[in-house]
Amino acid sequence: MIDPAQLAHLLRRTEYVARPERMALLGPGTLDAAIDDILDFSGIDTTLPSTIDHDNPDNRWEQYVLATKWWFDRMAFDSPKPMQEKMTFFWHGHFTSAYSKVNSVWAITHQNKLYRDNAVGNFANLTHAMAIEPAMLAYLDNDDNSEGSPNQNFARELMELFTLGVGNYSEDDVIASARAWTGHGLSPWVDGSPTFRQYEFHPTNHDDTNKTFFGATRNWNGPDIIDEILVNNAAKKMIAARFIVAKVWGYLAYPGPPTAVVDALAPGFAANWNIKTMLKAMLLRSEFYATAATQGLVRSPVDWIVAVLYYSKMRSDVLNPQWYTEGMGQEPFDPPNVSGWKSNGYWVNTSAIGARANFAQNAAYQLHKTKNYDYLAKISTTTVDQAIDAVAGLFGLAPLSAVTRGAMTAYMNAQRAVEPWLSWAEVDNLLLMGLLAPEMHVS
């Protein structure tokens, strides 16, 4: 049997929360079997809902809101394997495109589907596919990249942010890559089309002359650049493998992975680019269950919202998280820039926490308004300790730290000294304290 604390940690990092049914299903088995189950996405329907699978300029904003709410509900409730959504969000923040520039719900959700379908597939294949995805071509301006006027945006980010990292290429490599990617663009606009422009290769816009990339001179074409980085150049592919392993570790464990972890995982990943195999090896590492990992990651705004939705049992139609994400600093489908979102301690700041408090207040109010949960009776008819335990149990916060319990106890004692009967404020505020407890903001 797996140690329950170990399994709960694994599920929080891979499935947002440790759901009781998942704990019960996976607990009797081995860690190896649990990880296999978590990473098995076979048979999952990834069809986009018809309400967002088209472009309509008359209700584009409404489509964007529907898409955001759909994804939140999929993360919190509807996906049979939430790790698929977790990794979809990772690739969304890595191979970044933003709705605010692309201005097409169809394009940004189809890119999202690409990341979902390939969430634990082959990294090299995913990199090739994202390079000609319409949202990416529009976002990094490769649709404007043509011979005689090469645009370097995609060529640079392909190396700097997507595969190699800063310092592992030269400016001459950027220029050569940009020339290689000329002509890889989009079809013309069609008024009234229900879909965005599609990928097209335009030979007349392509630079068909020799270019020198990583010291090799030949007539490079765009996809050749990806193959050189991830397939043919042994030194570069190892740099790329270490770069991606470190970033995934930072997403699932904590930023700054131990060198031993990267040394162990990168060679196997570079050998076949199998994301699932790399993830399994990572999740089996003892370092993933050490204190540095179990206490080392702050929930991003999206992860925290998903936890609130799940524990409150209220879907996005009720809580409307899309109205609060901008203030928290993380809007699905709309990263702030091509480098995606920062992580961990970045989320601990006054404005972001203030925005979380606004959403928590909304959730506490909606929870109380439903009046159909036993914890309401527990808060009013039990001891202070039992009332606090009820709220901690509701939000999966047990065990509470002494500091958190002390603050909640002090509030309850003061409140009951004034109003010994159940009051609206007592329920709302205790729920709010649970949602804003430090334990709720770490995963």
The predicted-structure confidence for 237-271, as pLDDT tens digits, reads as follows: 999 999 999 999 999 999 999 999 999 999 999 99
Q: In terms of domains, do 188 and 220 share one?
A: yes
Looking at the structure, do residues 12 and 110 belong to the same domain, yes or no?
no
Q: Are residues 313 and 388 in the same domain?
A: yes
Between the alpha carbon of residue 345 and those of residues 159, 168, 292, 342, 403, the distances in Å are 26, 27, 14, 9, 20
User: Can you give the pLDDT at residue 57?
Assistant: 78
pLDDT of res. 423? 64
- When the pLDDT of each residue in the chain is averaged and rounded to a whole number, the result is 93
Residue 375 pLDDT class (50, 70, 90 cuts): low
**pLDDT exceeds cutoff 70 at 373:** no
Q: At residue 205, what is the residue type? A: N
Q: What is the pLDDT of residues 189-219, one digit of tens each?
A: 888 788 899 999 999 999 999 999 999 999 9
What's the rounded Cα separation, in Å, for the pair 115 and 94? 10
Task: State residue 56's pLDDT score.
Answer: 80
Q: Over pLDDT 70: what percentage of the chain?
A: 96
Residues 80 and 189 in one domain: yes
Residue 21 and residue 55 share a domain:
no
How far apart (Å, rounded) are the C-alpha atoms in residues 204 and 184? 11
Using the 3D structure, point to which of 294, 321, 345 is the last residue of a domain: 294
Question: Are 52 and 70 a contacting pair, CB within 8 Å?
Answer: yes
Rg, Å, the chain Cα set: 24
Region of poorest pLDDT, from 15-29, 55-69, 148-162, 361-375: 361-375
pLDDT(424) > 70: no
**Reported confidence tier of residue 75, pLDDT bands at 50, 70, 90:** very high
Final residue of a domain: which of 225, 259, 294? 294
Residue 75 sits in the same domain as residue 201: yes
Check whether 372 has a pLDDT greater than 60.
no
Residue 417's pLDDT band, with cuts at 50, 70 and 90, is confident
Between 323-332, 364-373, 389-398, the lowest mean confidence (pLDDT) is in 364-373
pLDDT at 55: 84
- C-alpha–C-alpha distance, residues 3 and 22, integer Å: 14
Q: Is 232 found in the same domain as 279?
A: yes
Minimum mean pLDDT among 30-44, 304-318, 351-365: which range? Answer: 351-365
Measured CA to CA, the distance from residue 420 to residue 34 in angstroms comes to 47
| pLDDT tens digits, one per residue of 157-180 | 999 999 999 999 999 999 999 999
Domain identity same for 161 and 308: no
Q: Whole domain around residue 5: which residue ranges?
A: 1-38
Band the pLDDT of 374: cuts 50, 70, 90. Answer: low
Banded pLDDT at 421 (limits 50, 70, 90): low
Question: Domain ends where: 261, 294, 327?
Answer: 294
Report pLDDT for 415. 84
DSSP 212: E
Give the per-residue pLDDT at 277. Answer: 98
The confidence score (pLDDT) of residue 390 equals 86
Mark whether 1 and 26 lie in a shared domain: yes
- Cα 353 to Cα 52, 94, 210, 263: the distances in Å are 31, 24, 53, 36
325 pLDDT more than 80: yes
The pLDDT assigned to 381 comes to: 66
Domain match, 198 and 114 both:
yes
Q: Same structural domain for residues 269 and 378?
A: no
Question: Do residue 307 and residue 280 come from a single domain?
Answer: no
Work out whether the CA dihedral 292, 297, 298, 299 comes out positive or negative.
negative
How many domains, in total, are found in the chain? 3
Please list, residue by residue across 390-416, b when 16 or more beta carbons sit within 10 angstroms of its beta carbon and e when fewer do.
Answer: bbbebbbbeebeeebbeebeebbeebe
pTM for the complete prediction?
0.95
Instruction: Say which DSSP state 142 is in.
Output: G
